[in-house]
Homo-oligomer: A and B are copies of this chain.
Amino acid sequence: MQTTAAPVTALIEELAKLPGIGPKTAQRLTFFILRSPADQARRLAEAITRVKESIIQCSVCFNITEADPCPICANAERDHTLICVVEEPLDVLALEKTGVFKGVYHVLHGALSPVEGIGPRDLRIDELVARVRASAEAGEPVREIILATNPNYEGDYTAAYIAPLITLPNAKVTRLARGLPLGGDLEYADEGTLSRALEGRREM
């Protein structure tokens, strides 16, 4: 016999579909939502609905946005000849938080992964190549393309795949620096990070 109310079981099941949320956490969250003020739960439900209804991809950089082109691509004060290529919209969020980067982005929506069967056609690579070519034709050629894919196997492979496709004569293709993270501890750094930090050492 069903002794738990159906809406409760339904919410537990839906929450358990989210990544990193197991059945026990889903239960805890459900009972938290049950106990929280009605308008907090309403705001959460509405936020989920709104994000699905109003978010599209920018036709220029493929970042997620409400308006097309996105606020970054539409901003004339940003340097449109400097393109930072990232795997995911989350990476744009992280880079924007630094406040250091004044160029524009290109979101690939993933990284090449032969293991997972993700090939060049699954990513926005053709669009990047076309965008760079079009910038030259429009008389404002891209100066630099930062391949800011993740510092792991897939990210490196993706960067290595993209680099030779950028055939603009004067465009630099760069990759983010590798080294010790800020606040890191030499003693605990892995060998790969440490050898990259040695290779990339700079004069003080």
Mark A residues whose CB is within 8 Å of B. Answer: 1-8, 10-11, 13-15, 17-20, 25, 27-34, 38, 40-52, 54-55, 64-66, 70-72, 75, 88-90, 92-93, 96
Contacts and interface: CB of A to CB of B under 8 A. Distances in A.
B3 A17 contact: no
Q: Is the interface of A mostly helix, strand, loop or mixed?
A: helix
Nearest to A94: B27
Contacts of A33: 18, 48, 51-52
A75 B29 contact: no
A8 B64 contact: yes
A7 B44 contact: no
Quick one: copies of this chain in the complex? 2
A47 B14 CA distance: 7
A49 B55 contact: no
Contact of A52 (B28, B41, B50): B41
A31 B90 contact: yes
B34 A42 contact: no
Contacts of A8: 51, 55, 64
A66 B20 contact: no
A88 B64 CA distance: 41
